[in-house]
Amino acid sequence: MENIILRIKRGDPNHWEYRDYDVPVEKDSTVLDALYYVRDNIDHSLSFRASCRMEVCGSCAMMVNSFPTTTCSTLFSKIKPAKIENGKKVYIIEPLRGESFKWIRDLVVDFDEFFKKHESIKPYLIRKDNPEGQLIQSPKELKKYYPLTLCIKCGACVAACPISNSDPNYLGPAALTAAYRFNADSRDQGKNLRLAIVSDPEGCWRCHFSSECSNACPKNVDPASAIQKLKVQSTGYELKRIFLGKRGE
């Protein structure tokens, strides 16, 4: 066991500061474990979100040493400290950053804008018919999009994206990845409806392919790759729109 320093951004947009907390950690301690220790033993007023503690709910995502990550799965033994002061390792914990996240207090941000963008791309199966019974899908068809279903909506990809951090209108990697996930689903018939949305200037073409979103994803979803595939779909859609005059059908 060793003692480390958690340097946590505290307060709200009107008044904030960084406060240091001396926390004992073990080899298998996570950042979330340390935050619970601070809240339960040092400062009961510390605000943060967490639920499942097993990288399923996505609610504990924060900036750790300026990198967005799910704190329940981030081991101190696997990350480097931001600095060392007086012989102790210092880790800087901040709320998620970016235009999609309005800071509320301490480590808590508002996800309303994030989910509005997600909702805008119609993240559900769309059918032109009304089939009875199951919609059968082969393992090969499932394999085309299955990795994308592992997204836990933690927001880490959006916080890592340089475009999302500067452009409040950009749909962002999470929403765009969800659009491709459903477009690639053999049971779906709403591909053109989504392409009409993501082909907008603030959609997939706003992505500069820095791949920071994929680097930050805790579930290895690879949003950067999904967005490039969405660009291919968008190109075909726009060509049809120009030469055939069809849009969103």
* DSSP E strand boundaries for the chain: 2-12, 15-25, 61-64, 67-70, 83-85, 88-94, 102-105, 108-110
In one-letter notation, the amino acid at residue 17 is E
Q: Which residues pair with 16 in a beta bridge?
A: 11
Among the listed residues 230, 218, 190, the one whose alpha carbon sits nearest the alpha carbon of residue 56:
218
Q: Are 155 and 101 in contact (CB under 8 A)?
A: yes
- Check residue 246 and give its pLDDT: 61
Q: Are 225 and 152 in contact (CB under 8 A)?
A: no
Domain boundaries in the chain? 2-94, 111-244
Task: Tell me which CATH code domain 111-244 carries.
Answer: 1.10.1060.10
Encode the chain (249 residues) as per-residue pLDDT tens digits: 999 999 999 999 999 999 999 999 999 999 999 999 999 999 999 999 999 999 999 999 999 999 999 999 999 999 999 999 999 999 999 999 999 999 999 999 999 999 999 999 999 999 988 888 889 999 999 999 999 999 999 999 999 999 999 999 999 999 999 999 999 999 999 999 999 999 999 999 999 999 999 999 999 999 999 999 999 999 999 998 888 776 555
Residue 246 token pair: 């069809």
Neighbours of 19 (CB within 10 A): 16
**Residue found under tokens 């805790």:** 218
How far lies 107's CA from each of 7, 8, 43, 68, 145, in Å? Answer: 12, 8, 14, 12, 33
Q: Given this structure, which CATH class describes domain 2-94?
A: alpha beta
Between CA 30 and CA 51 the distance in angstroms is 14
Q: Are 162 and 208 in contact (CB under 8 A)?
A: yes
Neighbours of 27 (CB within 10 A): 9
Residue 216 token pair: 């930050």
Among the listed residues 99, 69, 231, the one whose alpha carbon sits nearest the alpha carbon of residue 164:
99
Residue 204 token pair: 């997939």
Query: How much is the pTM?
Result: 0.93
Between CA 117 and CA 168 the distance in angstroms is 11
Among the listed residues 40, 41, 42, the one whose alpha carbon sits nearest the alpha carbon of residue 50:
40
